[in-house]
Amino acid sequence: MAPFTRHHRNIPIPGAVTILEYLYYNNISFILLTNGGGKYESTRVTELSKKLGLIKGSETVESLRDKTILVTGGYGKKYRKVTKMCGFTNIVTSTNILIVYPSIWPFSFAVNFTSALDSQIILDLLLSKNKVLDTVSEKNGDPFFPNNSCHYIPRLGQGRFQASLRDIWDEITGGAVLERTIIGKPYPETYKYAKRALNKHRLQMLGGNGKVKKKVSRLEQVFMVGDNPESDIRNANEFESPYGTEWTSILVKTGVYNKGSKPKYAPKVIIKDILEAVEWALCKEGWNGVVD
């Protein structure tokens, strides 16, 4: 979603609404791949619709819909409701298990919250210049962690939990391989899902709403526009379509990209913002329309 909103502020980038409306009214298929932010699907859709318009909800990952899901990473009943609204039916939370087996965690719930906060503060200090918070040492590289904050230094999100669990497993088991499927950018399952969602939307849009559907040609080209080389660009480059669809990565300068730096995962092209990125993609496809 970052290519459409200013990094850390969640306000539309100039031209973002214009380009979305242009694509929509010209029957050019597109989807927006963004994080839910731990909110109800309807709440997230409403928020984005107010900012960008023309936003619809997503679908559950079908392969997991009927399986028993352990949901972690939240407090109270909200995250159970969020999961249920996403279409999952068999939901278990950490609190459910704690009630049945209280000895499994003989500590205060506050320990979980403070450990996350402590990790963030310690990391900020390690990355800082002369141990001053809100500064970044020039000796550091360009580390990436998921960010959903107005803080200009990237904040630790769910990536922290996943990385911590992996390291704890490694320490406890003596290096045994932790087999896991990670859903989210830049991991393959997310882009497989995006491909299915895009194809479904395209068939609905171009095939017509009548009883007799129009024949829709195979999708040959996907342009992935993103603002983060580590997630958006990386997977667009690495994704292999089983149907031979070509994926082209476009990096915009309105996100975490630092001007003058060399991205770890090189995009096909680096462009100013989402408006110019879409115009570039349309030009590549021989589109003669004018975005206004």
Every domain of the chain and the residues it spans: 2-61+183-284, 64-173
Place of tokens 């849009």: 205
* Residue of 193, 168, 194 lying closest to 180 (CA atoms): 168
> Does 14 sit behind a cis peptide bond, omega within 30 degrees of 0 on the bond before it?
no
Residue-wise pLDDT tens digits, 185-238: 778 888 888 888 888 888 888 887 766 678 888 889 999 998 888 888 988 899
Long-range contacts of 70-77 (CB under 8 A, 24+ apart): 70/94, 72/161, 73/38, 73/158, 73/161, 74/38, 75/109
Interval 100-125 mean pLDDT: 73
* Residue of 227, 235, 230 lying closest to 195 (CA atoms): 235
The answer to whether residue 148 scores a pLDDT higher than 50 is no
Tell me how far apart the alpha carbons of residues 94 and 287 are, in angstroms, rounded to a whole number: 52
Interval 75-95 mean pLDDT: 79
Residue-wise pLDDT tens digits, 228-266: 888 889 888 998 888 889 999 999 988 777 777 788 899
Q: Contact 194/200 with Cβ under 8 angstroms?
A: no
Pick the residue with more confidence: 168 or 123?
A: 168
The answer to whether residue 280 scores a pLDDT higher than 90 is yes
**pLDDT at site 130:** 81
The answer to whether residue 3 scores a pLDDT higher than 50 is yes
Tell me how far apart the alpha carbons of residues 168 and 61 are, in angstroms, rounded to a whole number: 28
Place of tokens 């603002």: 227
One-letter amino acid for residue 235 of the chain: N
2-61+183-284 folds as Rossmann fold (3.40.50)
Residue-wise pLDDT tens digits, 20-51: 888 888 888 888 887 666 666 667 667 777 76
Place of tokens 């906060």: 117
Q: What is the DSSP letter of 142?
A: -
Residue-wise pLDDT tens digits, 166-183: 898 999 899 998 888 877
